[in-house]
Structure 1
Amino acid sequence: MRILHVVESLEVGGLERVVIDLVLQQQKDGHECMVVCLFHKGTLAAELEEQETPVACCDKKPGLDISVIRYLSKTIDSFSSDVVHSHNITSNYYCVLALMTHRGRRLVNTRHGIGRLPGKMKRLFGISLYRTNWVVGVCDQATTMLQELYPRWREKMRTITNGIVLDKHPLRTEANHQQLLRTLNLPEDSLIVSIVARLNPVKNHAMLIEAMAHIVKELPQAHLAIIGDGPTRQVLRNQAKQLSLEDKVLFLGDRRDVPELLAGMDVFVLPSLQEGHSISLLEACAAGLPIVATNVGGNAEIVNEGVNGLLTESGDVQDLTDKLLLLLKNKALREEYGRNSRSWAEKEGSVKTMAALYQDLYTHDA
């Protein structure tokens, strides 16, 4: 089967990581794949190009860009696409327009987020569903939201949760922990809370930094490692400085060695205001880490309260503080939750499972 994936870009992010891992798994399964980026290729495109997977770029201009429709239409034809798989909203309605002269090609869309859609985007996406064969939500809550927004097309909607390449993720061990402490030049008794997320307001790093100000008063050996970059970096640095946490909050930036870093952490935290099916939570599970996450979006489909982690309400700094302290103070509980995290990932979080479910969807009618 020849599968054409269409994304906005392949910059560093959860959606983009899912697309790359899915493409590489589909190629292992014997399919031929190509990726088209609407705006620009992005940093992660090199991973596909190193595997000789073609990645093209439309260089989309602001507003409706007719040249993108023409480019996609020609690419669909020249690649002899059996399936066009669009990712998120903008990609889908451009694919629908490009497919107007390619009636035999199937179109599958994945809605990776869970946030509410602006009015114009909501209408355009609804129109695009006339030509879309299947619409996928990456968690049950996302699918339910789509069904409520577009009840006419609810029979076209399915949930396929994200998966990752488990083999890339070493387990958290004490040896890995000590190695990370040496790398970060931290004392041997340090405990590290970690987060992997783009630095933007929706990820709510600010609440986490506020919680750390309380945590270090009880546990001076606690540190926070922030992995990722984004527009709120300087604001967050200023917040850490104002709270006298310069030596407690480590800004590690975008990293290509996230699996190795996670294998040395103690607790993973995700205080987001909203989420779909978080790739960073999947990575934390694969590393065998205990988790504290806000009960939003698909987080509760990954974090099983009292089994592999703890859930907290969005915006509740005190509860977040208390639950992080509970895990940081209890090594046996951390280890129990960590084992359960890895066990869950092996059953539910594999890219092989995700690819198999998409393959089934590509070949069936709604």
Structure 2
Amino acid sequence: MAKVLKILQLQTRYNAADTNSDLGEQILQGLSAERFDVVNAYLEGRPSEDTQHCGRRQVFFEFTEKDMSGLRLKVRRHLLAFCREEGFDVVLLHRFKTVNLFMHLNKTLHIPRCIGVSHGFGEYNRFYRRWQAMRAIDECWGFVGVSSAVADYLIALRCGFTKSNTVSITNALDIDLAESLQLPRGQARQALELPSDALIIGTIGRLVPVKGHVYLIRSFAALSDEYPNVNLSIIGGGREADNLAALIAEFGLQERVHLCGTRPDAMRYVKAFDVFVMPSLQEGLGLALLEGMCGRLPVLGSDIPAMRPLLKGAGGRSFAPGDVPELTEQLRACLADSDAGRAEDGERAYQYLRREHDIEDFRNKYRALLEGDLPVEEASK
């Protein structure tokens, strides 16, 4: 009988809004308790009540913003003691902060397998971070990019990420779960306080500049007189909310552009939309785009490396990131299509999602990676 592997999955921050689409949670679903003894931990945040995921133990360190800045001596001290007591065989680390912490800690801990997952670009753009990686990465380390573009970004840095230790495992969606959570069109619109008889352009994403919502609003404004029965809905919260609200008011579109705020499990509301747009300037993969496909919606998105193959495979429309005139033209073409034409495009996107982003394949690859026997070329497919 194979040895039970004791695994620490460490994430930066607990986010109650994304439990059903969270990458770490999806990985856990594929790990049997008989083979994997997993501790699921978060550096910051906690749920309102302790919950158990897949019967796994959860740890919420609840470090403060001050704890997580500078040298993070308190954080290092606590993690060092925790890991020594637990005796992990593998650590699975999500995003830069957790990876960077263990690049320091594992010089003392000597955990035999450390796997860092990069969810986007730019984490190692600073020279000092690349210098640290070059010094810290050894035979214990492996890395995952959530798309081929992210893996290629890491390898191109030439600071320790190589084709032999860095793979891409493309994010996937639990389609059956997502569909079971989706509200019917009428209920979804009612919950979001959207008009029942309008044609709705929708998007899901944090209200931060990189998500490109300002360009989507400007494009919608350019079409608003031409299509008086079309509305725009944006699900998500963030620091750009006031700026976007001011821009909407500047165009006089307060009745037609709806900032719906943060919604737990936002994919529940995707059927409220008729068209799904993702105007991001940069993405690691663009999981929300997959959620739009799951709603059988025609999809439009920025022509950026992480989303380009998704849009091409789904038969979606693309536009240069931040290019308002081009986005406007692509939206106009989609809105000018018939209901039947949009439905056909949405079904094509859904079938692509089913074919290419199967959650079981995703889980199998992570499970094999944790066991240490996944060839790079297999993981990168």
- Using the size of structure 1 for normalisation, the TM-score is 0.89
Match among 109, 114, 119 for residue 107 of structure 1:
114
Give the 3-state SS of the residue equivalent to 2:143 in structure 1. strand
Residue-by-residue CA offset, 1:111-136 (whole Å, 9 max, x unaligned): 11123622222322333322542111
User: Which residue does the alignment assign to 2:31?
Assistant: 26
The alpha-carbon distance between structure 1 residues 128 and 195, as it changes in their structure 2 partners (threshold 3 A), is: farther
**Please, which runs of 5 or more residues in structure 2 have no aligned partner?**
377-381
* Offset of residue 337 of structure 1: 2.0
CA contact (8 A) 2:114 2:140 kept: yes
User: Which residue does the alignment assign to 2:379?
Assistant: none
User: Which residue does the alignment assign to 2:156?
Assistant: 148
| Correspondence 1:160 to 2:164 | no
Match among 41, 62, 77 for residue 45 of structure 2:
41
The alpha-carbon distance between structure 1 residues 91 and 164, as it changes in their structure 2 partners (threshold 3 A), is: same
Match among 318, 326, 329 for residue 325 of structure 2:
318
Q: Distance in 2 between matches of 1:285 and 1:156?
A: 32
User: Which residue does the alignment assign to 1:283?
Assistant: 291
User: Which residue does the alignment assign to 1:247?
Assistant: 255
User: Which residue does the alignment assign to 1:8?
Assistant: 12
User: Which residue does the alignment assign to 1:327?
Assistant: 334
Q: Distance in 1 between matches of 2:34 and 2:23?
A: 16
User: Which residue does the alignment assign to 1:56?
Assistant: 60
Q: Distance in 2 between matches of 1:128 and 1:58?
A: 26
* Offset of residue 35 of structure 1: 2.5
Bigger drift between 90-99 and 226-235 goes to 90-99
* Offset of residue 198 of structure 1: 0.5
CA contact (8 A) 2:17 2:265 kept: no
User: Which residue does the alignment assign to 1:302?
Assistant: 310
Bigger drift between 200-209 and 320-329 goes to 320-329
Q: Distance in 1 between matches of 2:288 and 2:34?
A: 25
Match among 90, 95, 117 for residue 97 of structure 2:
90
For residue 256 of structure 1, what is the amino acid of its counterpart? P
Give the 3-state SS of the residue equivalent to 1:217 in structure 2. coil
1:207-286 equivalences in 2 (<5 Å): 207-286=215-294
Bigger drift between 87-96 and 121-130 goes to 121-130
**Please, which runs of 5 or more residues in structure 1 have no aligned partner?**
none
CA contact (8 A) 1:49 1:55 kept: no
For residue 250 of structure 1, what is the amino acid of its counterpart? H
For residue 155 of structure 2, what is the amino acid of its counterpart? Q
Q: Distance in 2 between matches of 1:346 and 1:199?
A: 29
Bigger drift between 267-276 and 163-172 goes to 163-172
Q: Distance in 2 between matches of 1:104 and 1:50?
A: 25
CA contact (8 A) 1:89 1:125 kept: no
User: Which residue does the alignment assign to 2:188?
Assistant: 180
CA contact (8 A) 2:274 2:297 kept: yes
Q: Distance in 2 between matches of 1:131 and 1:44?
A: 40
* Offset of residue 41 of structure 1: 2.2
> What is the root-mean-square deviation of aligned Cα atoms in Å?
2.8
Q: State the aligned residue count.
A: 363
* Offset of residue 101 of structure 1: 3.6
* Offset of residue 282 of structure 1: 1.7
Q: Distance in 2 between matches of 1:309 and 1:257?
A: 24
Q: Distance in 2 between matches of 1:341 and 1:44?
A: 37
The alpha-carbon distance between structure 1 residues 100 and 22, as it changes in their structure 2 partners (threshold 3 A), is: same
Bigger drift between 44-53 and 142-151 goes to 44-53
Residue-by-residue CA offset, 1:266-295 (whole Å, 9 max, x unaligned): 111111111111111121122222111001
- Percent identical among aligned pairs is 24
Q: Distance in 2 between matches of 1:242 and 1:315?
A: 19
Give the 3-state SS of the residue equivalent to 2:93 in structure 1. strand
